[in-house]
Amino acid sequence: MTTQPHDIRQGSRHSAVLRPAGPSSRTFVHDSSDAPDHLEITDVRKRYGGTEVLKGVDLSVAQGRTTAIVGPSGSGKTTLLRLIAGFSAPDAGRIALGGAEVAGPEKWVPAHKRSVGYVAQDGALFPHLSVGANIAFGLPLRGKAAARRVGELLEMVSMDASYAKRRPHQLSGGQQQRVALARALARQPELMLLDEPFSALDAGLRVATRRAVSKTLEQAGVTTILVTHDQAEALSFADQVAVMRDGKLAQIGSPFVVYTRPADRATAEFLGDAVILEAWLEGSLALCSLGGIPVRMPKVQGKVNLMLRPEQIRISSGSSIRGRVVDTDYFGPETTVRIQLEPILVDAEHPRDPHQPVGGEVINIRHWNAMLARPGTELFLKVVGEGVVFPWQG
């Protein structure tokens, strides 16, 4: 029997708004107009001792959607997750699930009454219990009914029912994480919280497990929050990305928007490799060492920092922009190439425009052909797409 997406949520008051699985349910642009907000966090603050860890966090997550909270260690990600789960209480602010307040100035609903599933970094399986007993832990079912439910949940996480008889130590790391997910889904939660669940896995297994977990949650229609410090994981896993820094959310948006149009320089550099150049902006055109780069809806003018992603800078024989390869890092399918741009010629015949950059910066680009970019090679470059500008920082 194949478990259908609605099976995990039988009897839920939200079952009418669940969406079918498939590529169409996940898009680059997050639009929650067709789904009500399931989780609402308003001005939440938390202090431990003399340190204010959360400094007024506001976040909304639509029903059935996935949000990734990404940020460096110590930014407050796990603290926020613990407040949502009900493991601790906020000092100020409000948290609501499905329109009902679960934490506020005069309200507190304990964790076991919140219909929230939680998967920790290490899975936290009971080592003395079988896989089946781990999954069935806390289920009101017994006997054949419990075994049947365990089999359905294992199938849901792409594991054969025969795994129910094994012990956790007989499973791979990825299989343990999927069992932990099955155990969390067994109670039919309305909200799933994933606290760095893939960070302990090796690179190949991490990607495969992430895809399996994402597909399972998407088919089940469960609203999900993933906490991670891995930028690529956040961008590939979620419908919405919330970038946390120093106890606040610096930017919230679709993966496409936060990557291509970051709100500030710190966010740009955290979410991936960024090429930052000195530029002079007039209107919507930024003049820099790579030529004139269009900028969408700039908020500043004059001297600025221009941000491009390395993949926007291409090798092109028909360009007048030149640079020389300094060195390379080979990664198999692609090579990171460090290039020193040609300095802008200045002499008696070519006096320097005070608005024109001097050139000579060292930048990173990515290229598939390592042989084409040997150290010392002169390359001609062009830029594809738009840049993003930030107020000038010397």
SS3 string of 119-155? ECCCCCCCCCCCHHHHHHCCCCCCHHHHHHHHHHHHH
Report the CATH superfamily, name and number, of domain 7-260. Answer: P-loop containing nucleotide triphosphate hydrolases (3.40.50.300)
Q: Check residue 210 and give its pLDDT.
A: 85
pLDDT tens across 193-227, in order? 999 888 877 877 788 888 888 888 888 889 999 99
Q: Check residue 254 and give its pLDDT.
A: 96
Class of domain 273-391: mainly beta
Q: Check residue 274 and give its pLDDT.
A: 96
Q: What is the DSSP letter of 8?
A: G
Going by C-alpha positions, the residue among 173, 202, 196, 182 that lies closest to residue 137 is 182
45 contacts: CB under 8 Å, gap ≥ 6: 52, 54, 55, 56, 57, 90, 91, 92, 93
CA distance 305 to 302: 10
Q: Check residue 31 and give its pLDDT.
A: 44
Amino acid present at 173: G
Q: Check residue 78 and give its pLDDT.
A: 92
Rounded to two decimals, the pTM is 0.81
Q: Check residue 28 and give its pLDDT.
A: 35
Amino acid present at 374: R
Q: What is the DSSP letter of 312?
A: G
Q: Check residue 205 and give its pLDDT.
A: 76
Point out the residues of the chain with pLDDT beneath 70: 1-35, 123, 345-354
Q: Check residue 213 and give its pLDDT.
A: 83
Give the residue extent of every domain in the chain: 7-260, 273-391
3-state secondary structure of 198: coil
C-alpha dist (Å) from residue 352 to 53, 286, 306, 321: 49, 17, 20, 17
Domains 7-260 and 273-391 share a fold: no
Q: Check residue 146 and give its pLDDT.
A: 85
Terminus-to-terminus CA distance in the chain, angstroms? 63
Handedness of CA 135, 140, 145, 149 (dihedral sign): negative
Amino acid present at 345: L
Q: Alpha helix locations (H) across the chain?
A: 77-85, 131-136, 143-156, 173-185, 203-220, 231-237, 255-260, 265-270
Distance of CA 126 to the CA centre of its chain: 29
